[in-house]
Structure 1
Amino acid sequence: MDRFRLFLLIRKLKPKLIIVDSEFMRHPESMMMLVSELASNVLNAIPQYEGQERAIKAIPSFKAMWHMAEALGFIFEWVDWNARAKDDRRGVSYQWP
């Protein structure tokens, strides 16, 4: 749920590339929406304690994500997978220097 802390920790690793495949809220303001979901589903948020049935997750707006990236000195590019032509969805590749 704490994306800023996660990216702060990632920053310490000095990666050349970070890919964030996530859900984002389409809201013009910088905000996070909290939702609860079943922790038993492996695609959902993980439980924070044994026996927890519902876990909380935060969904950031695009602007919130932009503020976090800017504060941490990241350069980023938004890519909307659904906006790409179906024949241009080849996946992600990176050439190491």
Structure 2
Amino acid sequence: MKKYDFKRIDWKVDKVLVCPKCSELLYRIDIEHFKHCPYCNKNIVLNVEIEDYLLKPTVDKWITIQHFASGSFLSSGLIGLESEAGQSFL
């Protein structure tokens, strides 16, 4: 059962949480620092859905690092990590 609604407000911004009580938009940083809505004081219960939302940037960064470390960017020629002397950093 879905407990919270998320909304995209701009193409540049990730999804934001819509407070179920006052309908204010809560950004990731609001949820990380407060256990309740800073506008209406509604308690935000940390469930799997909120946990996934909070961890998404960390997981995305980790996946990018793992993908980069595996050499897939290097082999495809998208990124070249060589010094001016021609030594590879990896």
Q: Same fold judged by TM-score > 0.5?
A: no
**More helix, by proportion:** 2
- TM-score class, shorter-chain normalisation, is under 0.3
Structure 2 length normalisation: TM-score?
0.24
Structure 1 length normalisation: TM-score?
0.23
